Amino acid sequence: MSDWKQVALGEVATIARKTVEPKDISDDTTYVGLENIARGGTFVNVGTVGEAALASTKFRFTSEQILFGKLRPYLAKIARPSFSGVCSTDILPISPGNQLDRGYLAHFLIQPKVVEMASSRATGANLPRLSPAELAKFTLPLPPLDEQRRIAEVLDRTDELLAKRREALAHLDDLIQCTFLDLFGNPATNRKNHPLAPLGSLGQWRSGGTPPRSKREYFEGNVPWFSSGELGEMLVSRSNESISLTALAETAAKKVSRGSIMVGMYDTAALKTSIADIDCSCNQAIAFASINPELADTIYIYFALRTGRDHFRRLQRGARQKNLNIGMIREIAIPLPPMRLQKEFRERVVNTERLKEGHRQSLAELDALFASLQERAFRGAL
């Protein structure tokens, strides 16, 4: 172990909360919501205030700060922006002091054990949040600034290798998407004039449910229980929370059979879609169905909904939070090409997924290396 001094985060950094009203923000200001930060710190689909149509107070941030997602901190939404703007109040801008390097602090906060600690200290059953006061109590080792910068540089280089591997996976995803468009066209325009079929005609659709959290035993099982924010990947098998078989038997929670398609219904997660790769369950913000294999292929349905998502989301209703309901899901009409083409597409997807699995294994090895470097770095052994 090193003899580095241990300090509270609040002693060497400021958790800034400079608020601003929507009327005082220009439309071209960059806006970051929690949905715009991926696990690990990558920014995704960042837009402007005008595009987001803000209705509540936000925080200002600068390119010298770190953005820390306090809602559901187990999601590890911690990022270093290269731009200024405003963000959701569920994101805390952190300003490192003159004794603390921003990159060093970012890598410290994103360590698995620190993320786990943040999650354990969050409060709120349905929407756990880590308070700024609690975050300020986190202790971290404080080596000299030169050493902090060296550590951040080493971890940044390893992180770049991880990013390249993720980019290779993304290119394979793009290949599948291009194949879909080549075979079927865009479902929103249906220029290949395939017959339309409502989703309700292809399977029996139901919505999930949430067991009462007052009974702790309902959340002590091993049945994966998905929320709509966890959807998006084609196949999902791991969820942030699990429930028990007793919860399935005694509450509104329902079994989602392996191979079923799950579709988000609420707000920004509306029409986020995944296929269950394991028997599981989901909350009431998700609609699910087992697609009749004689009528349509589930993988085709997944890509049709993903490709036409922006178009189909126009069905959403609501003043502040725009939602879909189970009836609206059933009414979504998608083009239904011949099964021969659907099966051909499925085979191409399966082959591409095999290639992706090799990349995922390499990514897992790099992740393990990165975790080892992090652990050594913050105990002074790097």
pLDDT in tens, 266-304: 988 899 999 999 999 999 999 999 999 999 999 999 999
What is the rounded average pLDDT for all residues in the chain? 92
Q: Tens digits of per-residue pLDDT, 97-152?
A: 999 999 999 999 999 999 999 999 999 988 999 999 999 999 999 999 999 999 99
Is the pLDDT at 325 greater than 90, yes or no?
yes
- CATH code 3.90.1200.10 for 6-142: no
**Residue 318: pLDDT band with limits 50, 70, 90:** low
Is the pLDDT at 379 greater than 90, yes or no?
no
- List where CATH 3.90.220.20 sits in the chain: 6-142, 195-336
As a CATH number, domain 195-336 is 3.90.220.20
Query: 3-state SS string over the chain?
Result: CCCCEEEEHHHHEEECCCEECHHHCCCCCEEECHHHECCCCCECCCEEHHHHCCCCCEEEECCCCEEEECECHHHCCEECCCCCEEECCCEEEEEECCCCCHHHHHHHHCCHHHHHHHHHHCECCCCCECCHHHHHCCEEEECCHHHHHHHHHHHHHHHHHHHHHHHHHHHHHHHHHHHHHHHHCCCCCCCCCCCEEEHHHCECCEECCCCCCCCHHHHCCCEEEECHHHCCCCEECCCCEEECHHHHHHCCCCCECCCCEEEECEHHHCCCEEEECCCEEECCCEEEECECCCCCCHHHHHHHHHHCHHHHHHHCECCCCCECCHHHHHHCEEECCCHHHHHHHHHHHHHHHHHHHHHHHHHHHHHHHHHHHHHHHCCCCC
Give the pLDDT of residue 169: 84
Q: Tens digits of per-residue pLDDT, 238-271?
A: 999 999 999 999 999 999 999 999 999 998 889 9
Give the pLDDT of residue 108: 96
Q: What is the mean pLDDT of residues 357-381?
A: 85
Is the pLDDT at 315 greater than 80, yes or no?
no
